[in-house]
Structure 1
Amino acid sequence: MSSLRAKIQDVFNEPACEQNRGKDAKARKEGCSKPLTPGAAAGGCAFDGAKIVLQPITDVAHLIHAPLACEGNSWDNRGAASSGPTLWRTSFTTDLTELDVVMGQGERKLFKAIREIKEAYGPPAIFVYPTCVTALIGDDIEAVCRRAAEKFGLPVVPVNAPGFVGSKNLGNKLAGEALLDHVIGTVEPDDAGPYDINILGEFNLSGEFWLVKPLLDRLGIRVRACIPGDARYFDIACAHRARAAMMVCSTALINLARKMEQRWDIRFFEGSFYGITDTSEALRQISQLLVKKGADPEILGRTEALIAEEEAIAWKKLAAYRPRLEGKRVLLNTGGVKSWSVVHALMEIGIEIVGTSVKKSTVEDKERIKQILKDDNHIFEQMAPRELYAMLSEHKADIMLSGGRTQFIALKAKTPWLDINQERQHPYAGYDGMVELVRQIDLAIHNPIWRQVREPAPWDCQPAVREELPSTKSETATLHVVQEFAGTTAGDFGGC
């Protein structure tokens, strides 16, 4: 536990974070977690955050050393996609019981589970995750992993991020530390070249990185490792031989990018593949970093030619949507890199941003938003569900883009909604992804269902009485009533 405590303090003291550098020594030790509001959900724990970062490594067996519910609550918690291996989709857990805890059988059971996975699946590596229970009872995960690695001849990586140590974001960073300590740099590639790069903090949600990788392939740029989206263990182990890196989500893995730069001189920049302008700028910066590291300068000209070609195609496709979407108002309730990258992307086609959240956004993210919107009134840290509902029900926005957690607020307000968080079903990265995002927004806003659901329901309206019904309760009177309502139109209802 002492080594874990030291690791946490090291992660809290992040020199690459401007907000962290602005704190005094005491405040820096407290990290970035905020005090919880009584009755509010705390969000994911550190274990959940570590699992989010590492599970998309697709050919690795992810073993949870804990009671069964820990794995059940964290399995497949993001919509990452794989182009090959499916082992990451299989749940492995030691299923620790009360008896195992009382009798001290945790470490023995963990060693046995590692052996069974090795014999049944033969993965290139096994990642072992302790959780609150196994950390509290003192199971020595690192010792068991070392012994198993020696015995079975494969890497067994301890991911020391039990849930109680902190927030999901802290777990993201502890996962990056595990890669640095046990994976990256452990294999020397025999094909390293001057055009190798790493992409960090890219999760390949809905397979959207597959829309970007062909662009890099056309430039002759090889993605040595995409961490963690659609990654392979061997690629990550060789990631230290890349010449440059792009950081997509600095909130999650800024510590990984900084330490790789310190250890192996892999310079990085933070960019985005959302939107036409940001995608083009990301390609330019990648090429410029490679040239600084010794690549042929001719790649700069090829990059500009590719950008010009792809932008022309994308703008031609988007021209059909501009008349239908120009002036439409969007409320963006997300966070992190999407809080500014999606804003910029939408404004490029004339959509008005009435508000964007900066929850989980870094200081750099917030500065980018201010530069793009040029108005702090459209930026909010967090908006309560009641306020979101009021804004949407008063028709101050034509559509809300957010995660699934707030979709029902929009639906209750009878407002179009589109998922842009990790549960989304469509890829939005790159030039083609931008076209797809605009297409989905257009489909959502102009769906005829919204006009229908905003009309008053027939049972909420009083029918206009055109003649007095007979006082008798005969079959004739009953038939008269049925005919009266059967012939009633929407215009016959009072107040509708």
Structure 2
Amino acid sequence: MSSIEAQTGDTSSQRTAAIYPTKENKACQKATQGSAAGGCAFDGAKVVLQPIVDVAHLIHAPPACEGNSWDNRGAASSGPVLWRTSFTTDITEIDIVTGDTDQKLLEAIREIKKGYAPAAIFVYGTCVSELIGGNIDAVCRHAAQKFAIPVVPVKSPGFRGSKSVGNRIAGEALLEHVIGTVEADNTSPYDINILGEFNLSGEFWLVKPLLDRLGIRVRACIPGDARFAQVGSAHRSRAAMVVCSTAQINLARKMEARWDIPFFEGSFYGISGTSESLRRIAQLLVNKGAGLAFLHRTEELIADEEERVWKNLEVYRRRLVGKRVHLNTGGVKSWSIVHALIEIGMEIIGTSVKKSTVRDKEKIKQMLKNESRLHHTMAASKLYAVLRGQKPDIMLSGGRTQFVALEAKIPWLDVNQERQHPYAGYEGMVKLAQEIDLAIHSPIWAQLREPEPW
């Protein structure tokens, strides 16, 4: 028995039960062959938690695991940069043979505390550390007491399933070890949480000024540009909005059950989507005690912003109306961007629903009125055939499929996490229309489609 086992009481049999679940422990039983393709549970957990910017994220694994997942989102921070520093315990073949990595993990936590003084340390368990029986929970408890710093275990081995499973694991870790650990002394009737917002390319910074004008305070945006203390006090908010339901819907449901924080699923993409989200936030706050005048103030802001943004969009709308779009993304973007593009008169000829929830898919069906335009997965060769056959004016997707579009001589715009421009809120809608217009009407496409001069 190791010294850490002796202090915590955790035994190897208990650790084995966590790795190989029984009927009572069903969390790991949902994994199926191939479910981790495109991102495993560890990737999903890291995606959700890494944008908490004043936390040190320690990967208990060989360096390859960290190299695969580090900085894989375009999230932005308004201050701390610690979240962009890569930490790993560097498990080696010798460590795997001996099977005792607990002391190595404890030493890594000590070094991080001494050298970086983070607000907290998140420790990610991976396939290797879990399979050799690492006692992450016990080490984290011991380290938290020994070094007087919050140390959060995130048991997210890739074999537990897909990236979506990892999203839920991250939410469970926050619920069990972080949310509710910080008491706020400055609560107000206008405090809200935004869940599943990653602040990609600083998108949330286009939305926050609208909330500020209404007097709404975002107590915790989880995870985009979040601080550990903000997440810890999230239980004192009056209402919540879920932006990406795939990532955080379970967290929202459990926070509602535990702390009576009502929530809704919404989007800040598109004009009407942004307006509807502001209305629903206002209504939830009124239901929780804010005055009825708050609704009138919200409608005044919406009217002013919509009038201004439609005026700014007119020049692009004339050039984009009737243009045909193929959307190859997933999650909340599979319906929120569809709705935004339909608003400005564009035609959606197809959209991916990979990683979208059942509710997401229902929203798309209501908008497109044609289920044949929805596809779950599509190999590059099939996607190429679709683009060549249907000849859309542009494809919106992530970087993985950009070369398929370019090979098909179709304009392409990045709308996934690697994008360089923010598209949320009223201002973001204008930027999205501008970028689509620039891509479609670039003179290179006419030249590219001409017959070879020889």
Instruction: Work out whether the TM-score is over 0.5.
Output: yes
Q: Matches of 2:312 and 2:61 in 1, distance apart?
A: 51
Aligned to 1:334: 329
One-letter amino acid of the structure 1 residue matched with residue 391 of structure 2 = K
Shift in Å at residue 377 of structure 1? 2.7
Q: Matches of 2:49 and 2:287 in 1, distance apart?
A: 31
Matches within 5 A, 1:450-461: 450-458=445-453, 461=454
- Does the 8 Å contact 2:391/2:410 carry over to 1? no
One-letter amino acid of the structure 1 residue matched with residue 79 of structure 2 = G
Aligned to 2:351: 356
Q: How many residues align?
A: 439
Matched, 1:300 2:295: yes
One-letter amino acid of the structure 2 residue matched with residue 435 of structure 1 = V
Partner SS, residue 192 of structure 1: coil
Q: What is the CA deviation profile of residues 123-172 of structure 1, one whole-angstrom value per residue up to 9, with x for unaligned ones?
A: 11000011111111101001111111001111000001111111111011
Shift in Å at residue 5 of structure 1? 6.4
Q: Matches of 2:201 and 2:24 in 1, distance apart?
A: 34
Name which of structure 1's ranges 355-364 and 201-210 shifts more when overlaid on structure 2: 355-364
Partner SS, residue 351 of structure 2: strand
Q: What is the CA deviation profile of residues 200-226 of structure 1, one whole-angstrom value per residue up to 9, with x for unaligned ones?
A: 011111110100000000000000000
Q: What is the CA deviation profile of residues 238-282 of structure 1, one whole-angstrom value per residue up to 9, with x for unaligned ones?
A: 000000000011111111001000000000000000000000000
Matched, 1:415 2:413: no
Q: What is the CA deviation profile of residues 289-308 of structure 1, one whole-angstrom value per residue up to 9, with x for unaligned ones?
A: 00111112211011000000
Aligned to 1:77: 72
Partner SS, residue 69 of structure 2: coil
Name which of structure 1's ranges 394-403 and 378-387 shifts more when overlaid on structure 2: 378-387
Q: What is the CA deviation profile of residues 474-494 of structure 1, one whole-angstrom value per residue up to 9, with x for unaligned ones?
A: xxxxxxxxxxxxxxxxxxxxx
Q: Matches of 1:76 and 1:388 in 2, distance apart?
A: 28
- Does the 8 Å contact 1:11/1:173 carry over to 2? no
Aligned to 1:118: 113
Change (3 A) 1:276 1:11: farther
Partner SS, residue 318 of structure 2: helix
Change (3 A) 1:277 1:9: farther
Q: Of 272, 277, 286, which aligns to 2:272?
A: 277
Aligned to 2:8: none
Aligned to 2:200: 205
Shift in Å at residue 335 of structure 1? 1.2
Q: Of 97, 105, 108, which aligns to 2:103?
A: 108
Partner SS, residue 315 of structure 2: coil
Aligned to 2:125: 130
Aligned to 1:36: 34
CA RMSD after TM alignment: 1.8
Question: Structure 1: which 5+ runs fail to align?
Answer: 13-28, 462-496
Aligned to 2:261: 266
Aligned to 2:360: 365
Aligned to 2:441: 446
Same amino acid, percent of matched pairs: 70
Shift in Å at residue 93 of structure 1? 0.8
Q: Of 61, 76, 82, which aligns to 2:56?
A: 61
One-letter amino acid of the structure 1 residue matched with residue 290 of structure 2 = A
Which structure has the bigger radius of gyration?
A: 1
Matched, 1:385 2:377: no
Under a length normalisation based on structure 2, what TM-score does the superposition of the two structures give? 0.93
- Does the 8 Å contact 1:11/1:255 carry over to 2? no
Partner SS, residue 321 of structure 1: helix
Shift in Å at residue 98 of structure 1? 1.4
